[in-house]
Structure 1
């Protein structure tokens, strides 16, 4: 796959993107990312995923403007009539990924890069990381729906209309970033620390928890809680649910059996 590498170890899938100089997204990269994240649904080796880049000048500097020309003769009819589908599918595959996804962000996350990070379940960033939907400065429009989901309507309008960049500290104060790392050299280790903590949980419970939270996010309070109860009722039918409680009483680490 172009500019992408996937490594699996200890229940953690690390997806690394490297496309110098600014890690801009092409249609091929977006298609490949969709394939990767959708593929985790049927992969028992993967309990949690980490998305990282090799940051030359940016985390992900949006879509490659050299790749926005018209469709070529090999394009599918859907790609020819709906140019935005490949991007939507990439964002969907991350947001709806069967397992939690952690974004490790260093340097600038711009446009599609910011939207990509917003689709992840947790964002860990360096102090020098910056975030912005700058499309308005290029005569384009970006993913305001992603901003609203992250920041609420008023902060989102500020960033979307001005095209300004926000610091990691600002977004951490807004509750978007779970941890800001002082030394960029420590970013991967911190992301791995969080990933290992999740990888120790029941893989079935994590998958059901992710799906449950996605389904209830926009529901009214009582309706959302009712859906959550259904997921809990589903979880207790698995042996791993009983194993979690028994391990707690035995004061030992649980042994997950995927059943």
Structure 2
């Protein structure tokens, strides 16, 4: 259990942190390290990021913060590093999402190059209900602007089927891992040098810098915490 990397031309990075795949500060940093290491390995052609258990990711481990609120800085830095690692990974990252994808999970999926989802997958930012903000940067990569705003204000979820209609989920499937691996195999069959340059070029033409944008959001979470508004993070 934990964060496991299964190396190969298609490197699988598997999150298995019971009961809900909510990550501690160390867990976020471990995930960032695994993704960066995979991308730096010349043998890796594509990364598949997936999870075991009931859902893809439940965000931050709130219990850790309840026991030590001083860890908030470490947790925020860990999330920042994990999201950045997915975005900056030298090879394409495919997020294979099942069940819930909440808070930090949206940060991971939103920064992935391709999202494949199970039929039961849904995505949401419950931050406002918890007195926090963040990952709207990444949600905006998955849904249109006005829906993103509605989701932030109301904390309402969207389904994989809705995201498929927007084109931000490539496939909705009952065979999640198999479908993700099939897409990964199509990429892995290409010239690896060309694919790495393609990833670099696509990041270079992004209209919004997700690292700077997310860091701006995080400042408001610190403000809300200082004002005594925090009721946990997701």
TM-score by length of 1: 0.75
Change (3 A) 1:64 1:83: closer
3-state SS of the aligned residue for 1:116? helix
Name the CA distance, whole Å, in 2 between partners of 1:40 and 1:18: 18
Contact 2:96-2:180 within 8 A present in 1 as well: yes
Residue of structure 2 in register with 1:46 after alignment? 44
**Which structure ranks higher in relative contact order (CA pairs < 8 Å, sequence separation ≥ 6)?**
2
2:210 aligned with 1:204, yes or no?
A: no
CA displacement 1:84-126 (0-9 Å, x = unmatched): 2221111001011001000111100011112211111100001
Change (3 A) 1:168 1:41: closer
Q: What aligned pairs does 1:102-141 form with structure 2 within 5 A after superposition? A: 102-141=94-133
Contact 1:95-1:120 within 8 A present in 2 as well: yes
Shift >3 Å, 4+ stretches: none
- Could you say which structure has the larger radius of gyration? 1
Corresponding residue pairs, total:
206
Name the CA distance, whole Å, in 2 between partners of 1:5 and 1:51: 10
1:33 CA displacement: 1.2
3-state SS of the aligned residue for 1:14? strand
Q: What are the ranges of 5 or more consecutive residues in structure 1 without an aligned counterpart?
A: 73-78, 220-259
Residue of structure 2 in register with 1:13 after alignment? 11
Q: What are the ranges of 5 or more consecutive residues in structure 2 without an aligned counterpart?
A: 209-234
TM-score by length of 2: 0.83
Name the CA distance, whole Å, in 2 between partners of 1:83 and 1:173: 33
Name the CA distance, whole Å, in 1 between partners of 2:43 and 2:159: 35
